[in-house]
Structure 1
Amino acid sequence: MSQVILLVDDEENILSALYRLLRQDGYEILRAVGGAAALELLKSHKPGVIISDQRMPGMTGVQFLSQAKTICPDSVRLVLSGYTDLKTVTDAINEGSIYKFLTKPWDDDFLRATVADAFRFHDILLQNKILQQDLLAANEQLSRQAELEIALSHEQTKVSLEALETAQEVLDIIPVAVIGVSMEGDIILANQAAENLLGGISLFGGNIHHVLPGILDNPDAIALPGVRPYLINETQTTLNILPLSPMHKGLRGLVLVFTPMNANI
């Protein structure tokens, strides 16, 4: 990409001298006589560096560069002046309107080096701007992805809850009593038939050792599968103890299935 520089001065001979000096560095050079003409050029051009004289009729260099900052904020702006208005220039530098202040007559090598530094600074500004835009785009993409993941999680939770409700409904219509217990004896599942069999009490969250004392005291009853008789509230049932195992080794819990002897299943 070509490096474009705008030279602004009210004296044609100064513009010509600057043009001859800087063209050897390969810049694309624009020239404007006075601030008003320069502002017109900025409507169709975006120079990387702007060098303006300070003392110009109708509009000072600081006044021009202050407007140029609004029109072309990425340009690096320099003042070139034959006299020192320290307060005006200092205020402009503090406001960010001016990058550096150069004096007339100028040293050719110093001016060329300063312009080269200004273009390097301009490149850094553009790179930072691109990085900020990329970061903003990445953040927006992450935000959209997070929103999708949250929506998916809510949908999965909804499906899981519906599946649990359906599973509970299925358990409640089974004519046999089913109780799920952890290895500590906590009741983590119980259907309606189980609560009816035990007199209508609520079982979920209770402990099997309190509800049915001694039912799991016999290690053989847990270790050896099979059906055995069991009496609950004068109701003769057959008890089947089924292991609830995870994918890895070890026992996660037990499922107790009570079938009344006279049940028609």
Structure 2
Amino acid sequence: MSEEAIPEAFRRRLLLVDDEINILSALKRLLRQDKYDIMTANNGQEALDALKENPVDVIVTDQRMPGMTGVEFLRLAKESYPDTIRIVLSGYTELQSVTDAVNEGAVYKFLTKPWDDVQLRGHVAEAFRRKEMADENLRLQRQLQIANSALESTNHALDKLLREQEERIENDEVSLQITHEILAHVSTPILGIDDEKNIVFINAAAQELLGHSNTFLGMKMARNAPQLEQALNQASTEIIFHNERYKVLTHPMGKNSRSKGKLMTLIKLDAS
């Protein structure tokens, strides 16, 4: 891929800082072959101004410059642009000040003058790889944060839904218990019959009518109350039961609920 064809977002931006024009030109000529997007500055203040306009990935600066040393410039660059990778070129005479800057994190690597071309190119390439790895880790951390946030929101929504379902189930159970209690104590005989014609509900009045001595719950209608079994297929009919006349009303269940079968109500008619 040619230098011109590299997308803007993927260009490797390099800032070179040196007050000597010939050294700056030599550095630029050496590193241009690695397809970097190279910016230059002749002093620390000019470099800070350039960083405000164009963010860079790697900075290579001379140490001995008028007005502001390279280490002083890199300390300021670290404060405003902590993600940059910072390299200083220096002679051995400035070793102590540069070492202090390396120890405090303002400088990533210290290279001596005169430099070796191959080594310098290798160190700059390594700096870019370090920066790109840090950027990728940051991107993955942000993606993980977004995924965790989405997962947390989903869990909250599921917890809320589960609580609402539990509340509905609890309310339904309470309503069912109340309904059973009402039906159990109402004075009219009422029976619940499932699709297999088993007695699945019988209130006290119906139990008394059919006979206290027998347990009818779960038993077949045909065996315990054949007259009532014959009335199941009719919405309304009259029967003689224990020498008394009853109107039998049957209501199919399941229209407004998940219940199956029929509800049977027996209304005693007067002798007339």
TM-score under structure 1 normalisation?
0.67
Identity over aligned pairs, percent: 46
2:59 partner amino acid: I
Alpha-carbon distance in 2 for matches of 1:148, 1:95: 47
| 1:127 equivalenced with 2:103 (yes/no) | no
Match of 2:127 among 89, 95, 118: 118
* Residue correspondence of structure 1 range 29-48 to structure 2 within 5 A: 29-48=38-57
Q: Residues of 2 paired with 1:148 and 1:3: CA distance? A: 44
Give the SS at the match of 1:43: helix
Residue aligning to 2:166 = 157
Question: Gaps spanning 5+ residues in structure 1: where?
Answer: 178-190, 198-227, 232-237, 244-260
Structure 1 residue 240 corresponds to structure 2 residue 216: yes
Q: CA deviation at 1:64?
A: 1.1
RMSD of the alignment, in Å? 2.8
Provide the aligned length of Structure 1 versus Structure 2: 198
Structure 2: state its 5+ residue gaps.
Answer: 1-9, 187-200, 220-241, 245-264, 268-272
Q: Structure 1 pair 14/169, CA: closer, same or farther in 2 (3 Å)?
A: same
Rg larger for: 2
Give, in whole Å, the separation in 1 of the partners of 2:58 and 2:184: 87
- Alignment of 1:107 with 2:107, yes or no, is no
CA deviations over 1:107-127 (Å, ceiling 9, x no partner) = 111101111111111110111
CA distance in 2, matches of 1:60, 1:151: 61
- How far off its partner does 1:93 sit? 2.0
User: What residue is the counterpart of 1:49 in the other structure?
Assistant: 58
Q: TM-score, normalised by structure 2?
A: 0.66
Deviations 1:177-220 (A, max 9, x none): 9xxxxxxxxxxxxx9x78xx9xxxxxxxxxxxxxxxxxxxxxxx
Note if contact 1:39-1:68 (Cα within 8 Å) is conserved in structure 2.
yes
Residue among 73, 81, 89 paired with 2:98: 89
Contact 1:52 1:80 in 2 (8 A): yes
122-131 or 60-69, which moves further after superposition? 60-69
- Cα distance in 1 for residues equivalent to 2:211 and 2:40: 106
**Separation (CA, whole Å) in 1 of partners of 2:173 and 2:86:** 68
C-alpha contact (below 8 Å) 1:51/1:80 kept by paired residues: yes
Displacement of 1:70 after TM fit? 2.6
